[in-house]
Amino acid sequence: MFRNIVLVTLLISTVCALHYEMHKGSTGDEPEESSGMSMAETEGLPGVCWACKWAMRKLKKRISTGATSDDIKKLLSGICDEIGFLKSMCRSFVNKFTDMLVEELSTTDNAQTICGNIGVCKKKG
């Protein structure tokens, strides 16, 4: 019983911390960038890199060779429903980076490279 309480507390704390980090600075005096979160901000968010790679791997398997940008956007809009408790963060990420994601998913790059190019994961050098 105690173990379950600790686990739930950790899960809630993680979600709250993630939510706080996503909105930190958005109420400051600095003007927001047109894409919302800057790449430096998203790289530091816990879980964003993992979620990006997870989504890109799934999408790469589903995208056919002659897929149009509209086809890719449709797939992008539904991928976050499959990610579980990170659904909200995933949707925010996809909404902010849709154009970049469509462009990157049109290439032959793998998930790690795509997420590195977008700036949510460190690039392998």
> pLDDT tens across 15-68, in order?
555 555 544 444 443 333 333 444 444 444 567 888 889 999 999 999 988 889
pTM of the model: 0.60
Amino acid (one-letter) located at 99? D
Q: Is 7 a domain residue?
A: no
Rounded to 10 degrees, the C-alpha dihedral 10/25/82/101 comes to -140
Assigned domain for 9 exists: no
Q: Which H/E stretch holds residue 29?
A: none
pLDDT tens profile 80-116: 888 888 888 888 888 989 999 999 999 899 999 999 9
- CA 72 – CA 69 distance, rounded (Å): 5
Domain count, the chain: 1
Q: CATH number of the domain at 60, please.
A: 1.10.225.10
Output the pLDDT for position 15.
57
Residue numbers of the domain that contains 92: 37-118
Looking at residue 98, what is its pLDDT? 92
Is residue 47 in a domain? yes
Residue 109 lies in a domain: yes
In a domain, 73, yes or no: yes
Predicted local distance difference test score (pLDDT) of residue 122 = 85
